Amino acid sequence: MLFLEIKMKTKIRLQVFLSHNGVCSRRKAFDLIQSGQVAVNGRIVKEPSTAIDADRDEIYVDGSEIKSKAFDYILLNKPKGVTTTKADQFAEKTVLELLPKEFQHLVPVGRLDKDTEGLLLLTNDGDVAYKLTHPKFNVGKTYFVRVRWELTEAKRKKLEQGIILEGTKTSPAKVEEVKYTNDQTEFNITIHEGRKRQVRLMCAKVGLPVIYLRRLTQGPLELGDLQLGKYRALTKDEIERLRSL
């Protein structure tokens, strides 16, 4: 299996460079630069939007050089029964146990509950993880769902208009490809939030217990034909699309 190690684009704003390479948040990087604590090629720079060459320029913060970090992006088809966490003493098996040692530093982006299968991104790129999980970016996630009983038009409208969970209404959803047979309904649902067990709870609220749940997409990423329990590195095109969110 091929693995892809990606560095940031060569030209990047100084403020973003510091954030990407783990120095601090973008907000703190802005203040750090304006306070005169950052030097580029031996010269103090106080403009956060200054374009720098991440591969050639020498960046120092308070006298310490900041190197351009390489990032890894792994897409996993998580099986049922595996916990989405880096470490949990009560978990029978975690997602990192499905990856080789060289990827043990990666962090799951968002969560899939233990009984849910499907697409899970693991990376050490905090900026991409933030974009995929923060509500303000409105990133869609599509799930294949199998429930007991029939998804009537009335229940479908309730799911699409939003469901009250713990006192707060969920954002509008989209339901597609509905198939009803033998007292079970299969459909795809796209949501734009990441509440704990959200799809299961939404379906339960309209009287449709979930039998099976699998995440198919997250933003521009698609599970495709990746086999259950297997993983692959993202392509350059996929990484560029994530960065452009």
- Which residue numbers are catalytic? 113
DSSP, res 94: B
Is 180:150 a contact under the CB 8 Å cutoff?
A: yes
Q: Measuring CA to CA, how many Å separate 116 from each of 23, 78, 111, 143, 152?
A: 35, 8, 10, 10, 24
- Go through the chain and tell me how many residues it has: 245
Around Cβ 89, how many Cβ atoms within 10 Å? 4
3-state secondary structure of 153: helix
**Which residues fall within 8 angstroms of residue 77, CB to CB, at 6 or more apart?**
117, 118, 119, 120, 223, 226, 227, 228, 229, 230, 231
Question: Per the structure block, which two tokens stand in for 188?
Answer: 């795809």
CA distance 204 to 199: 9
> Phi/psi of residue 226, each to 5°?
-60, 130
Q: Which residue has the tokens 């499905």?
A: 98
Is 116:80 a contact under the CB 8 Å cutoff?
A: yes
